[in-house]
Amino acid sequence: MKTSTLFIAALLFVSPPTLAAEHAHEGEAGHQAGVVELSPDQVKAAGIEVEVVARHPLARTLAATGQVTLDRYREVHLSPRVEGKVVRLVKLLGDPVKAGEAVVYLDSLPLGQAVATYLEAKAERTLAKAEAARVAALRSEGIAAEKRQIEADARLARVEARLDTAREQLRLYGMNEAQIKELAPHHKHSHSVFALTSPIAGEVIALHATLGEQVGPETPTAQIADLSRVWVEAAVYEKELGRLRTGAQAWVSVAAYPEVRFPGRLDFIARTVDEETRTTRARVVVANPDERLLPGMFANLEIAVGSRTPLIAIPRGAVQRDGAEHICFVEAKPGHYQRREVVPGEAGPVYLEIRAGLTEGERVVTKGAFVLKSEAGKEGMGEADEH
């Protein structure tokens, strides 16, 4: 609470906010209890936003509980196609990774041998092609016999077959055509050392490799995931399935951020029902650009299953609790905010019905109401002291 008070004071330090009560003595005309006046700079610093009071069709929702998981289409488990020893860790746990970027380097004896076989076959193919061309020239002049031409062509065919086999082995070990073409007998880097790269952008969420460790195709080396979008998986009772539709809006809340509702979309409903729990799995996709939602978090979901008749409603964050009262602030004119007690009704995921205290067309503060509540509270304390 002390931190919040200091934060509010810092926001409004530009110049003290003016309370209407400070401009009028008790009994004088113009006294307006509960009005907070802010300068344009103070309004900006406090992040004040307003919205016109209107009727909104509150969504009917189905409540469920679930868990945040990785988007399985945006993760990858890295493992090499050929055995090798870890010789360098390029990325560590938590590091960001770009698509195609190296995560670890391995030194592989089988890869080195495969490269040597390929380069040897490539050199033999060059000699065999030259010999076949020379014999063909002699044959055209009637100097070389047909048998010699046949032998030269056969040798070239055998060498090319070995080269194709060697090239295919390199592809099986994970090398692409561009990397194969770059291979040369006297390359400045060891042919046995290669990079294990990530096919997606994301971050390292698990790193299993250690320097000097021998790893292979069956060894998970690292896990890369893109956390900018996550799934929330929930169990829904079979009696509720008729109310759900893929594509429906959904809202997710977690204990770490109790005041935040993360919007999402229901994109999958499983086609089987668990025989013991009589539930089926439903999946909500949620954008997570600031990565506040983490895999493993327990989550509460509200999934839209229809809407009610439009009612006078305002964003849920516009309503503040002040003791036993529910209050909001109405903008009388720019910089002038009137404290107003309201009677809330039904709550939707985003909007809250207001049964009394507001009328359509008024402008209500939707962001920054906590700052105004704090300043209005100071006024009340001042009046109590005077008595």
pLDDT for res 6: 44
The bridge status of strand 84-89 relative to strand 59-70 is: unpaired
Dist CA 193 CA 109 (whole Å): 9
Band of residue 17 on the pLDDT scale cut at 50, 70, 90: low
Terminal C-alpha separation, the chain: 27
Band of residue 16 on the pLDDT scale cut at 50, 70, 90: low
pLDDT for res 44: 84
Per-residue pLDDT at 10 exceeds 80: no
Quick one: residue 283, left, alpha or beta (phi over 0 = left, psi -120 to 50 = alpha)? beta
Band of residue 50 on the pLDDT scale cut at 50, 70, 90: confident
Compare 296 and 337 and report the one with higher pLDDT.
296
Per-residue pLDDT at 202 exceeds 60: yes
- Is 173:113 a contact under the CB 8 Å cutoff? no
Q: Which two tokens stand for residue 244?
A: 């759900």
Beta-carbon contacts of residue 61 (< 8 Å; ≥ 6 apart): 251, 302, 303, 304, 305, 348, 349
pTM of the model: 0.64
Map residue 348 onto helix, strand or coil.
coil
- Is 373:36 a contact under the CB 8 Å cutoff? no
The architecture CATH gives domain 60-71+227-307: Beta Barrel (2.40)
Strand partners of residue 356: 343
56-88 residue pLDDT tens: 877 788 889 999 999 999 999 999 999 999 999
Dist CA 175 CA 163 (whole Å): 15
Q: Which two tokens stand for residue 187?
A: 């390359």
99 secondary structure, DSSP code: T
Compare 13 and 193 and report the one with higher pLDDT.
193
Per-residue pLDDT at 225 exceeds 90: yes
Per-residue pLDDT at 29 exceeds 70: no
Domain ranges of the chain: 2-57+310-386, 60-71+227-307, 75-106+195-225, 109-191
Band of residue 304 on the pLDDT scale cut at 50, 70, 90: confident
The architecture CATH gives domain 2-57+310-386: Beta Barrel (2.40)
Strand partners of residue 236: 280
The bridge status of strand 257-269 relative to strand 18-19 is: unpaired
Dist CA 132 CA 150 (whole Å): 9
340-369 residue pLDDT tens: 888 988 777 788 888 898 888 889 888 878
- Is 206:112 a contact under the CB 8 Å cutoff? no
Strand partners of residue 295: none
Compare 44 and 217 and report the one with higher pLDDT.
217
Per-residue pLDDT at 182 exceeds 60: yes
Per-residue pLDDT at 375 exceeds 80: no
Q: Which of 253, 227, 267, 361 is nearest to 316 (CA)?
A: 253
10 Å Cβ neighbour count for 222?
23
pLDDT for res 20: 46
What percent of the chain lies above the pLDDT cut of 90? Answer: 45
97-126 residue pLDDT tens: 999 999 999 999 999 999 999 999 999 999
CATH of region 75-106+195-225, choose from 1.10.1740.10, 2.40.50.100, 2.60.120.10, 3.30.565.10: 2.40.50.100
- Is 114:173 a contact under the CB 8 Å cutoff? yes
Per-residue pLDDT at 9 exceeds 60: no
Side chain identity, residue 191: H
Band of residue 14 on the pLDDT scale cut at 50, 70, 90: very low
Average pLDDT over residues 163-178: 90
DSSP letter for each residue of 16-82: PPEEGGGGS-TT-TT--TTEEE--HHHHHHHT-EEEE-EEE-PEEEEEEEEEEEE-GGGEEEE--SS
